[in-house]
Structure 1
């Protein structure tokens, strides 16, 4: 091999190697950006923490891009800029959630106690320091539970029909109405159940008088939950590979059995996620409960008779009360609602995972 060929190969190999910034460079630039922002914005009093954070982010983006362009090359600088923008978008999306969680923990933990979870507001006014949310917890669990029992079978069966059996105009019509129902305000669902169930149907079971109840609230919540369950189940069923269905059909397994034993278990984790999203929305609704359950400061275990409270309605009532004790109860009830929904979601996820492993 001649000297020219060797030198050319060495030159080509060295040209493929580019200079790279050390791994600690982004962290160092971020620290320098924070220091500069504090000295230029926060300490002189030109802005608060938010403006200081924005200034630090801009300094970081500009500094890292310029440093990368000077040491590496233009392509690496653009890549670092795009990566930094993606991380910044993630932080901006996560910030409101963390802010809400932090606020709930700080303000809700002051009043949270075992006593708060074990007593109701019966014979307790908003100006008293006593009282708790036990009656609201019972109402939320019963209303959301009944609504789930009504909605999940209807929603899953509707999605199965759309994906597995539905053809032509009927399937398109069902999908259209499901999409329309997704945007229905909660107050409209409450008015529908008020006009249909409370004013027309319930008098037949209550000596001719309208009956406000937790069951009526569950019906209104099921109207709100149904489109979410149908759409999420439909999307999960469409993600199941067609090869699984074809393999089952080739073995002579009937279609209904294929859906029951193969398609639904495969899509179960996604279906559970959609159901829990619907449950979380139902637990946080206030307007339907006000219209058809009417609220109740006492404990009512019977969802079919008498008014019933919910945690969302309890938060609404306490937040609007002109008392120094009411806001603390409202924050504690809001924290209880979030923890309750989180516990139900985790339990449903673990149950779905256990069933999947069991198969």
Structure 2
């Protein structure tokens, strides 16, 4: 006797409706526009004069509305993701808007005075409260001081990083790492005071651009050490081991294998350190003193620099000509730092290892 066994198809029982409602792609943009409108309306209705307050209200409304709308349509789980995304976007905007505003305002104010005469003349025989004058002497001083500081700090920082990564073991390496960490947070005025006490007062050297370069080198060294150390750690150990297996000495492996592999990141780190010291004012004010005329010798006599020039010109009360020259110098300083970063990127791309396919 055969019994027929009927087995029900389990598929209909296992099927679930896995698709839920989703907000359209334009929903975040729509919520942002709605939040901006509501923020402006609330700010105007409350009599808030600052547009920054309007923006903060709009940002808070964007986060709240994004979560509320997503929770109602998509569910709480997806709403939490929308909330995190909204917070990230708000943080990004809060970081970018001041930078863009600062750059735009500096360009707007600096272009009014930036011309060939401004770049090729100094302040010699120019009345500070009157028109004319330029930044040529400050530009020369900044280039020389930063170059000297780089020539001092870059080799020392590079060799220190090589020691810590390739040779550093024991107490000495720990102490070196500790002091590098301490130097990273040293204020610039402390570095200036140290060079003032040691170089100018104790050893008796005169105030000059080189004195300022020594203080800038102190500020630059820990940045170079830290960035170079991280880049050397990223070099795969397999490259070192392969070189050792071929009988290559360790010093030649570092020179021919490790450093060329990490040269892109090292160059970028050095350029970041240069950008870090380019805008320092306190050490230059204490050690270089500034000058109205051109001084191309950084080892003899006071010398001007762009940060000090900006401070001197802007510190003149009720002086429109000084304000204009300060903004022009600030714009040149921004272009200088931007150029350094572009050069660093170019060198990093040029010297980076090329992998064949």
TM-score by length of 1: 0.91
| 1:125-274 alignment, distance < 5 Å | 125-201=127-203, 203=204, 210-274=205-269
Q: Secondary structure at the match of 1:317?
A: helix
| 1:269-284 alignment, distance < 5 Å | 269-284=264-279
Asked if 1:341 is matched to 2:344, the reply is no
1:317 aligns with 312
Q: Which protein has the bigger helix share?
A: 1
- Bigger CA drift: 47-56 or 139-148? 47-56
1:28, distance to aligned residue in structure 2 (A): 1.3
Q: 1:297-325: CA deviations, max 9, x gaps?
A: 11111111111100011011111123221
Structure 1 runs (4+) greater than 4 angstroms displaced: 1-4
1:163, distance to aligned residue in structure 2 (A): 0.9
1:47, distance to aligned residue in structure 2 (A): 4.8
Give ranges in structure 2 of 5+ residues lacking alignment. Answer: 1-5
Q: Within 2, Cα distance between the matches of 1:297 and 1:264?
A: 43
Q: 1:4 to 1:98 in 2, by over 3 A?
A: same
1:7 aligns with 12
Please tell me whether the aligned partners of residues 245 and 258 of structure 1 are also in contact (alpha carbons under 8 angstroms). yes
1:37, distance to aligned residue in structure 2 (A): 2.4
Q: Within 2, Cα distance between the matches of 1:173 and 1:7?
A: 70
2:3 aligns with none
What RMSD, in angstroms, separates the aligned Cα atoms of the two structures?
Answer: 2.0
Q: Within 1, Cα distance between the matches of 2:304 and 2:354?
A: 39
Q: 1:338 to 1:212 in 2, by over 3 A?
A: same
Give ranges in structure 1 of 5+ residues lacking alignment. Answer: 204-209
1:44, distance to aligned residue in structure 2 (A): 6.2
1:23, distance to aligned residue in structure 2 (A): 0.7
Q: Within 2, Cα distance between the matches of 1:166 and 1:293?
A: 37
1:108, distance to aligned residue in structure 2 (A): 1.6
TM-score by length of 2: 0.92
2:39 aligns with 37
Q: Secondary structure at the match of 2:169?
A: coil
1:93, distance to aligned residue in structure 2 (A): 2.0
Q: Secondary structure at the match of 1:16?
A: coil
1:330, distance to aligned residue in structure 2 (A): 0.8
Q: Within 1, Cα distance between the matches of 2:260 and 2:304?
A: 36
Q: Within 2, Cα distance between the matches of 1:47 and 1:300?
A: 48
Query: How many aligned positions are there?
Result: 349
Q: 1:208-229: CA deviations, max 9, x gaps?
A: xx42211111111111111111
Please tell me whether the aligned partners of residues 42 and 49 of structure 1 are also in contact (alpha carbons under 8 angstroms). no
Please tell me whether the aligned partners of residues 196 and 286 of structure 2 are also in contact (alpha carbons under 8 angstroms). yes
Q: Secondary structure at the match of 2:10?
A: helix
1:95, distance to aligned residue in structure 2 (A): 2.5
